[in-house]
Structure 1
């Protein structure tokens, strides 16, 4: 019923669009010799200076002005750099017209009619500049709302920005990075009314000395130019809200302040709320703690030392049962003089999350079905502090320093019930840690001559982590039975002295079983490299690189049991604890040659690596030495300035850290034991990708598509033994290759004030594990298709509608699972008059599986705004989850188990919000 009703609404909107009374003006623009002019601006506006439409000529000089009002008079303005502007009046347009123009040289003569109007779009070299007011209607509140309306731009729910299908690397405000260029903080916090122009910076490299030396063609940044009234003055807003939800008072306090001048920029963001809005997410934490500070090509090898994540767990942040968030951030920069500048930020975040989850999980190999009810509470408290300095005494030398400290205090408690095989088990889990990370980097760039450029990049990380884990398992009605009943050690199943001791781990009989584990990890990682470029001519250069990556880690773990009388039973078996010293070293040298021939840019390269891995544990030292030659190749075919095909191949090697080399058994969670393998080598990955990008400024058609295939040999995979729900696993270099492929395609085009798009995606993967001594291959295929349309009318109702269907097929070697998810969305807003604005968002989700699991749920949110023209005050009445949906679902097809999960979401919140613009 809901689905049919929504389809009727969508159809009505489409019919209303089709019936709109509009006309089109089109034609050709040439110069005095008759040569078509590409990238000329043609604007149509009414006498009150309201923009009717605008266009940009294509390579044939053609332009078109769409969705002009019938029976209206327009002034047409045609402009091109260096040529005299043409002004033409078209009265009482009744039907589609053809208007051709010839542009003459500008002799500095004054136009007969002096009309001043900002160009909606200007293009100069690698920079496209959009005048924001030409595309907005005044209902926008944040930067993300503005960017959504610019041709060729998209902003997703996470705040990631795409321009012509390419992800934006950094966001700048008046040339200065906004919180390390983070797009989400920018799109969700910068006020829309502060945005004057948006500059798209193509072929971006934040180190100007290196621009054009590598493959920067698909790197993009955007620079927000503030309106004149926002410079050299403090601006911002103070937002407060009060309401009711789930029998509790709901609140929000969210002041923001910004200051920009030529020498100083300051951004202050805060947000304190229990409206379920997480101000600083796990993804953002990774962005601020794991970003790459270098500007040059990667080495082709990688090692994840497990530092930086800070123990933060990624829960269903935006739909959890209860979220209370406290967030404060400061970002500033100071241009001390022409040669020296400083920048830094401080971020504080505290998030409390309550979640309730019901899960049905079936384990591969055993067929055991486990049903759990999980109630969890998590507290994430973090602090990130960074100070940086840039010193550039002249255009030939640059010195950069960044120092950062990351602090976390993370804890989580899980209280859940596990039911399977005819009995019930009560389980409590407690996890906590307080990691500390010091992260420093130094980069230097030196231009020795017009043909010789050098770069040095170094980064040093020093981290300490102290995760603590506690599990209490109470098997109701089953007394003195060890809860960790697993078969023999999967790495050595014939060993009669196997440490698992039939699953008892040497535990004393208890009711319940109270198991504790302490870990301590110290990590130091040093990455340094030197690059040299020799510029051979305007179309070619050669790049030589030498570098090293060095990792030292110390890893200690111990497991102990708390007995019923409160005494402590330390598990003393050497293989139930760890004391490991781990060393990793990578020495490498590389050469790359870039050259341009015709429309092709080709960059072949090769990197030679010498790896050394050493671990000392259990009184023995184990060493592994091996070498790898890693080729890479990139070719780019530029069909035209905004259309290209890019093929990239590279072979890389990935390594793991000390936790996976440590031989002693540790707990991963309440039902999973893990032991490392100190014979692991790196996994070799061959990655092939082909991408196509095409953006047509003439009719605002945006096409992008791509396919990526990866084949991993010697992949690090699991060797798992499972009994009941209990797992004991180790890692191996799989003798079978893991493969994956992803593909996507998207087509969008603007039809007057409507932007319509269709998209499709494909994800395929196959992995190999050993489960209960049997090699198993898991395959997963997901394909999705969607269609959407979005309007941008100046007045009245605007809408954003979409439909997507997603199919998932999983074959894990024991069973085949299929799931289908359909999502229908309708977002509409209505500018009722100059003061009132109404916004409504509706989403309907239809979920079903081949195991006869069905779950249909929908969400409805609405808000009514009042903002009197020229007033600094705005009032908002809002309601979330108006339909009071109780739970959502998530289906997971894993290599060890398949599961269907239902988790409780936030109930209906109703609140009054007041905003004051500073």
Structure 2
């Protein structure tokens, strides 16, 4: 059936292109007698000036416009900024399907391009210096299309399933409206909310603000900015959605997200609740109508974690606020949350935002883990079965501003406070066995873990450009982060040791950990061009860190009160850390070549004080760290050396036995790690062929790397201690290829392929045996996408992952795992007011233990009915996991261990959901279907 469908699409495409003609030629400057690259060749129907197609000339001024209709009068209009428009009418026939114009002489003019051409003949694409401008009216979309649908039709523009936008191989950092940062830094704010029929022009330029932050004037290192010019009268409005649904097995969902904006003021409200293992809104919707993107536009950095699980479920955490969804460890989640976001842009010189968000998630988890640890011909097998109830609450407050007091100065300031509260009650049954000795132990571990975090941070930066010296700039930055973690881990366990001697071990204890921490820094960056070829960049940064980690472990008395201090499992760790980094680099620029050598003078000093030690551990270190950057056309190479201190959690010599089977310890004698870092980046974009190629490779050589020294006793209980090791190596290679075919406005075909290769070499220390381990990770993926007039979409993806660990010691055997996945999504938007959706997914997990399904097939389907005025209402009838085969299986290889994990998941359920789209701006509606049937 799938093959017949593909054949039908190909037949339609072939019929579309049959009996077509073309026009070719060379475009030249009449005064300089030189070829003109990137001129726009537009072909219109002469009778009504409707556009047929267009092309851009290549670097030699040559062009070919194929796919032109026969026996119809056509008009060719050639435009280029600074030249008068060239026009020629012609007619193609069966006897003369192709015509050639040897030389087309363009006449320079001082008038604006729009004054030269007739408005009805505005070209689809215009190149103006470093700006690419698209005429929105030249790209036809459905009446209910959004900006995202329009962008997909533009040459050189690629939009993935998540809504991320690339232009000519570069990411789009933000979308502006009429030159204003109305929608912050997330392009999806505009692309997935604004209707396409209110757009007049789409302009693409380099992100000059990112260029200023980089301080290297290298356009190869910056993304793009899209500016949308609205039609007159579209300056205020309201959009969002309200939805509610119910289903079998007591499944439910409901929520609303509303964004109100009027001129320069935006107010966003949101609320949601569901037990479907998903967030109340997609990440794009939170960034969009939720207003988070505008707030994030005023932030220096944010903490955002998004996760998506093939078994069904997604999760989003923004600045410590959990917006619901699946738990990373598996299970079924009940989520709810609410928030408000206010943004005010009174003028181009200032912006202000304020926000509050609350998120709650409760997880019912069942988790089964099978672990095999290999040493020569001995295999230690451990089976864990865990049930848990996890409750998380988070509150986030934020305030910020962005000011531009004059044309050369930018000031950004913000402050946030986050409160995170988590209570986890879990019970685990564990059994351990040896393939030669038989059963080693079994036991039960009951835990109540309370973990609360409190965090305040603020950020301030000033960037000032020089009015006298072009390219010179100065930036001053200050940041402060104050946090406090209060964790109480209560453990009640009974372990039955079966080998080498028979005895029972009980544990009743409370491990109380308090970690107040303060980080503060200040930085200065100055860039000074010396001439057209040389520039100097200098920077200075100072960091101060103070941390106090107090661990007290209390054993229970006869009344089960935890008041008996255990000094062997308690300690207090205090650290004061000073770091000064001073950099100077000389940049050389010649045509498309840029070379930037530099050196950093790094001074670090830390004082570690331990309650268990009489004297403080003080260390001061000074290093000169070289750096080199080379950019040639589309190729980018970087090298730098750095020295970093070990994580404080690895330094505390207090045994952590909250899990009696896995004990961890610290090592206060760890040395700083020294790394040589290499990075290569290459991208190539061919706008004429709609082809994008990117390559990214890294390599790191590490001395004094931190690895774990593992000791497993005869009962199967493991103790790990961090130690230093030399000779660690890490290398990665990532490549992506995207190709689109847009020969016809109604038919789009595209494909993509990519891969990620990883090699990690480091020391393995296991029961006194030392070995080098080489971990190879090979991932490949590919996809094929078809779109016929937005009526039929067919998206196909596949991936293959292979993992292998080899060892230099014969005591350890080679470990291999592999995973395969294939998915196909079909969307049909017909008949009118009906949208059909289906997603079929198949997964295969090799090397899983017996009793865990190796193959998983999931089929989910939905039908949408649009209704009400302007189709603002959508009724969705859906079924998740129609075949009732859903399963969550994870396979991980680490050191000499293979772990297989199985968790409880959502089984088959039927759902009816009604959504009302609020659209008072242009009366356009959001495209239904194709964004994930269940929001996963």
> 2:314 is matched with which residue?
none
CA distance in 1 between partners of 2:763 and 2:426 (Å): 31
Distance 1:850 1:441, change over 3 A: closer
The CA deviation at 1:520 is 0.8
| Aligned mates of 1:503, 1:97 — CA distance in 2 | 91
**In structure 2, what is the equivalent of residue 549 of structure 1?**
543
Aligned counterparts of 1:711 and 1:806: Cα–Cα separation in 2: 25
Distance 2:329 2:6 in 1: 26
1:889 corresponds to 2:899: no
Corresponding residue pairs, total: 868
Instruction: Give the alignment of 1:215-614 within 5 angstroms.
Output: 215-223=218-226, 225=228, 227-228=230-231, 231-245=234-248, 247-259=249-261, 261=263, 263-279=264-280, 317=327, 320-336=330-346, 339-365=349-375, 367-421=379-433, 422=439, 424-447=442-465, 450-451=468-469, 453-475=473-495, 478=496, 513-562=507-556, 565-568=559-562, 570-573=564-567, 575-614=568-607
Give the whole-Å Cα distance in 1 for the aligned partners of 2:83 and 2:295. 50
Within 2, Cα distance between the matches of 1:778 and 1:292?
44
CA contact (8 A) 1:198 1:222 kept: no
Cα distance, 1:315 vs. partner? 8.9
2:448, 2:489 within 8 Å by CA — same for their partners in 1?
yes
Q: Which of 691, 695, 703 lines up with 2:681 in the alignment?
A: 691
Partner of 2:308: none
Normalised by the size of structure 2, how large is the TM-score?
0.82
Q: CA deviation at 1:636?
A: 0.6
Provide closer, same or farther for how the CA distance between residues 188 and 761 of structure 1 changes in structure 2, counting only shifts above 3 A: same
Q: Is this contact kept in 1: 2:322–2:394, CA < 8 A? A: no
Question: Residue 44 of structure 1: CA displacement?
Answer: 4.1
User: In the alignment, what sits opposite 2:803?
Assistant: 808
Q: Secondary structure at the match of 1:435?
A: strand
Q: CA RMSD in A?
A: 4.1
SS of corresponding position for 2:854: strand
SS at match of 2:616: strand
Whether 1:677 and 2:677 are equivalent positions in the alignment is no
Quote the residue 2:704 is aligned against: 714
With normalisation by structure 1, the TM-score equals 0.84
**Cα distance in structure 1, aligned partners of 2:238 and 2:598:** 49
* 1:138 aligned to which of 132, 139, 142: 142
Is residue 603–residue 635 contact of structure 1 (8 Å, CA) maintained in 2?
yes
Partner of 1:728: 719
Aligned counterparts of 2:283 and 2:128: Cα–Cα separation in 1: 38
Check whether the contact 2:635–2:680 (CA below 8 A) recurs between aligned residues: yes
Report whether the alignment pairs 1:627 with 2:622. Answer: yes
After superposition, the Cα gap between the structure-2 partners of 1:45 and 1:347, relative to the gap in structure 1 and judged at 3 Å, is farther
SS at match of 1:832: coil
Cα deviation 1:711-746 (Å, max 9, x = unaligned): 122112212222345332222221332333334242
Report if the CA contact (8 A) 1:200-1:220 is conserved.
no
State how far apart, in whole Å, the 2-side matches of 1:676 and 1:658 are. Answer: 9
**Bigger mean CA deviation after superposition, 412-421 or 462-471:** 412-421
Indicate the residue corresponding to 1:53 in structure 2.
53
Q: Secondary structure at the match of 1:792?
A: strand
- The 1:211–1:808 alpha-carbon spacing in structure 2 relative to 1, beyond 3 Å, is closer
- Residue 300 (structure 1) aligns with: none
Please, which moves more after superposition, 309-318 or 455-464? 309-318
* Shift in Å, 1:281: 9.2
In 1: Cα distance, 2:476 partner to 2:502 partner: 53
Q: Distance in 2 between matches of 1:696 and 1:854?
A: 45
Residues 294 and 569 of structure 1, relative CA distance in 2, 3 Å threshold: closer
2:926 maps to what in 1? Answer: none
Post-superposition shift, 1:570?
2.7
Query: How far apart in 2 are the matches of 1:726 and 1:54?
Result: 70
Match of 1:842 in 2: 840
| Matched-pair contact (CA < 8 Å) for 1:310–1:435 | no
Residues 16-25 or 339-348, more deviating: 16-25
Preserved contact between residue 522 and residue 554 of structure 1 (Cα < 8 Å) = yes
Q: What per-residue deviation string (whole Å, max 9, x for no partner) do you get for residues 578-633 of structure 1?
A: 21211111112110111201320111111011110111112431101111221111
- Mapped to 2, the partners of 1:258 and 1:29 lie a distance apart of 51
1:235 shift after superposition: 1.9
Give a deviation string over 1:158-211, Cα, whole Å, max 9, x none: 655444444444555555557862467777666777776555442543485x67
Q: 3-state DSSP class of the match of 2:649?
A: helix
Counterpart of 2:37 in 1: which secondary structure? coil
Residues 164/819 of structure 1: CA separation in 2 closer, same or farther (3 Å cut): farther
Structure 2: any 5+ residue segments left out of the alignment? 302-316, 434-438, 920-936
Deviations 1:10-61, CA, capped at 9 Å, x for gaps: 5665566556544363423514526433222233456777754332222122
Is 1:181 matched with 2:182?
no
SS of match in other structure, 1:466: strand
Do the aligned partners of 1:237 and 1:257 also contact (CA within 8 Å) in 2? yes
Deviation at 1:775, TM superposition (A): 1.9
Cα distance in structure 1, aligned partners of 2:519 and 2:490: 30
2-side partners of 1:416 and 1:838: how far apart? 44
Distance (whole Å) between structure 2 residues aligned to residue 351 and residue 133 of structure 1: 46
**Structure 1 residue 553: deviation in Å?**
0.6
Relative to structure 1, the CA distance from residue 116 to residue 797 in structure 2 (aligned partners, 3 Å threshold; closer, same or farther) is: same
Alpha-carbon shift at residue 144 of structure 1 (Å)? 5.7
Q: Are residues 144 and 577 of structure 1, via their aligned partners in 2, closer, same or farther at CA, if it must alter by over 3 Å?
A: farther
Distance 1:832 1:35, change over 3 A: farther
| Structure 1 range deviating more: 606-615 or 105-114 | 105-114
CA separation of 1:281 and 1:408: change in aligned 2, threshold 3 A: farther
Instruction: Say if 1:376 and 1:415, in contact at 8 Å, map to a contact too.
Output: yes
Please list every run of 5 or more consecutive structure 1 residues that lacks an aligned counterpart in the other structure.
296-306, 487-501, 639-643
Alignment of 1:61-210 (within 5 A): 61-65=61-65, 76-86=76-86, 97-98=98-99, 100=101, 102-105=105-108, 114=118, 116=120, 119-130=123-134, 137-138=141-142, 150-155=154-159, 160-170=164-174, 172=176, 181-182=185-186, 199-206=203-210
Note closer, same or farther for the CA distance 1:324–1:567 as it changes in structure 2 (3 Å cut): closer
Aligned-partner SS, 2:709: strand
Residue 491 of structure 1 corresponds to: none
